[in-house]
Amino acid sequence: MKNLLITLALFIFTSAFLFSCTTGEEVNIYSSRHYDTDLRLYSDFTDQTGIRINLIEGSSDELIERIRNEGVNSPADIIITVDAGRLWRAKEAGVMQQHNSDHLKSVIPEEMRDREGYWIGLSKRVRGIIYNRDSINPDELKGYWELADEKWEGRVCVRSSNNIYNQSLVASLIESRGEESVEEWAAGLVRNFARSPQGGDTDQIRAVAAGLCDVALANHYYLARLIQSDNASDREVAENVDIYFPLAEFGGAHVNISGAGLAANSPNRENAIRFLEYLATAEAQMLFAVGNNEFPVMADVETPGALGDFGAYESDAVNVSVYGINNPAAIRLMDRVGWR
């Protein structure tokens, strides 16, 4: 009990110290991203502005719940998370407010931000079709829709339906194709699974490289990480596969985001908006997006290395805000067709 009390006291002291000044030159960031490049981003912002960054990290759901529990006294200024579906959850939970920044509206493409101004996209994640170089001619590939065709029976790997990336893909398709058509497509895709859904995106890539399936769905940056890995076995996996982005004539590529929003009870609102606007600069985009092998949301930012090698892609042009709106329907649909 004594040790528990000491631990609790230290936690209270640390929290009090961290947020001892909620009206000074600081910004309190709650982030579900855990990348060294983000830390460099915070450091550069402080060097340029003198505004100190206080960071709390956790999963998206944990941070949303924490801010809800903190209520009007929450020290949170900025919420950073991945996937438009999770940003929508934060908005629906009432833990965000509108930023009302004309600058952000002018530099962030409309399809990459919330229609009501609650959050913005800051980097793009393209869900590609990973294919085995030895068994697949890329000319065979068309779009996500065609993966439900009988020719792909027993040849497709994909992760579970409880994954937000797959939920957002289905939500996007519902927007462009209609729920009834997408349910028929999803049922066909399930019939074509080479194995029960399991693992993460990297596991799908490894399965394709090992010949367990011919194609898989995965976000592009997982392959970029394998290509650039210091581990020889990772690079060998990458050498056995490639990535295909669906062309516009086949519906285009599904694009998701990492993004951020202004916390509902931000005690440092002006500083927080200044930080959001900093994120929407070419300099910051190189760290936030390119530094994590994600595509920048700003068109004039260079994409070197693996990103450049992947080449251009043609977006499906669906506004990312609908991923959250259609998320409940997508989950129910995936459950009905047996996508576990």
pLDDT, tens only, 42-79: 999 999 999 999 999 999 999 999 999 999 999 999 99
Q: Name the helix (H) or strand (E) containing 323.
A: helix 322-325
How far is the first Cα of the chain from the last one, in angstroms, to the nearest whole number? 43
The DSSP line for 143-207 is: -TGGGGSGGGTT-EE---TTSHHHHHHHHHHHHHH-HHHHHHHHHHHHHTBSS---S-HHHHHHH
Question: For the chain, what are the domain ranges?
Answer: 23-124+255-302, 126-254+315-336
Q: Give the CA distances from residue 51 to residues 20, 78, 274, 281, 284, in Å, rounded to whole numbers and listed in that order.
A: 15, 14, 10, 17, 16
Q: Which of 160, 161, 157, 165 is nearest to 135 (CA)?
A: 157
> Is 7 a residue whose pLDDT tops 70?
no
> Is 293 a residue whose pLDDT tops 50?
yes
The fold adopted by the segment(s) 23-124+255-302 is D-Maltodextrin-Binding Protein; domain 2 (3.40.190)
Place of tokens 């959001």: 276
Predicted structure pTM score: 0.87
104 close to 56: Cβ distance less than 8 angstroms: no
- 3-class DSSP state for residue 98? coil
Query: 304 falls in which pLDDT band (50, 70, 90)?
Result: confident
CATH code of 126-254+315-336, in short, is 3.40.190.10
> Is 17 a residue whose pLDDT tops 60?
no
- pLDDT at residue number 24: 58
- pLDDT at residue number 305: 86
Beta pairing, strands 254-263 & 96-97: antiparallel
